[in-house]
Amino acid sequence: FVAGISLAQLPYHRDLQRRVQPLMHFFIAVFFVSLGIDMQLDVSLLFWAKATVLALFVVVGKFIIVMFVVARLGYSERTSYFAALLLTQVSEFSFILIALGVEAGFVDSSAAALLGLIGLISITVSTVAIVFREPLYQTVHRLGLCRMFRAGAEDRHPGGEGSELENHIIIVGM
> Cα dihedral angle (153, 142, 145, 50), rounded to 10 degrees?
-130
Please report which confidence band the pLDDT of residue 106 belongs to, taking 50, 70 and 90 as the band edges.
very high
Residue 126 has pLDDT above 70, yes or no: yes
| Sign, Cα dihedral of 89, 91, 92, 95 | negative
What would the pLDDT profile of 146-170 be if each residue is shown by its tens digit? Answer: 777 777 666 555 545 555 666 677 7
Query: Which DSSP helix (H) or strand (E) runs through 92?
Result: helix 92-104
Residue 159's pLDDT is 47
State which amino acid sits at residue 33: V
